[in-house]
Amino acid sequence: MKVCTKCGESKELSGFYRNRATLDGLQYVCKECSRAAAQDWKAENRTPTHNSWRSMRERCNNPSHENYPSYGKRGIAVCERWDSFENFLQDMGTRPDGHTIDRIDVNGDYEPGNCSWATNEEQQRNRRDTAWFDLGVLGEIPRIAFKPEGTNPRTFSGRLERGWTLEEAITGIKGISCPIQERAMSTSC
């Protein structure tokens, strides 16, 4: 007979899993308590919020992870406070359905104040290869996110750095004369 350190019940030796590290070769906790603890752990650690937390840490800390080059290798880190899932949950709250963790500053670390839960659409606008433009001419939409389809983001940003206008950079044609303000008011150009 042996006493389980968790439930305090005296049980037959067959009621304990083997463990070579202990003097008697058996675990201190009975099989029943071990199973219950495993189920509790699975229920707590297989939530969408926990999966996001675990994936975030893997991307930043595990060189074998497929996305490590885009995160950990670039210097993106997880703050020490978020080494604990409980702290992460306290700061971020439960992950809403259809959302994933998003860094507000795409070059910043995973830390309180730089992270939020975002939809896939919001995530797509917050990428390193998305260009942002101030378009005061449109009034109601002061900033837009633009990702030219079929154009390498480096090519697009390079055109802008060389002094091309937004229209020229979008079309790839130097010297076009239809400004955005006129285009917004007419259908032809």
Task: Indicate the pLDDT class of residue 188, thresholds 50, 70 and 90.
Answer: very low
Query: What number is the average pLDDT over the span 54-64?
Result: 95
Q: What digits encode the pLDDT tens for the residues 17-32?
A: 888 777 777 778 888 8
Query: What number is the average pLDDT over the span 109-126?
Result: 87
Q: What digits encode the pLDDT tens for the residues 75-94?
A: 999 999 999 999 999 999 99
Give the start-to-end residue ranges of the domains of the chain.
Answer: 2-45, 48-125, 131-185
Q: What is the pLDDT of residue 18?
A: 83
Asked whether residue 112 carries a pLDDT value surpassing 90, the answer given is yes
Beta strands in the chain (DSSP E): 2-3, 10-11, 16-18, 26-30, 100-103, 115-118, 131-134, 143-146
Q: Which position has the token pair 């090519």?
A: 155
Q: pTM here?
A: 0.54
Q: Answer for the pair 174, 164: CB distance below 8 angstroms, yes or no.
A: yes
φ and ψ of 2, to 5 deg: -145, 150
Task: Indicate the pLDDT class of residue 170, thresholds 50, 70 and 90.
Answer: confident
Query: What number is the average pLDDT over the span 31-53?
Result: 82
Share of the chain above pLDDT 70, in %: 74
Q: What is the pLDDT of residue 135?
A: 54
Asked if CATH classification 3.30.60 holds for the domain at 2-45, the reply, yes or no, is: yes
Q: What is the pLDDT of residue 99?
A: 94
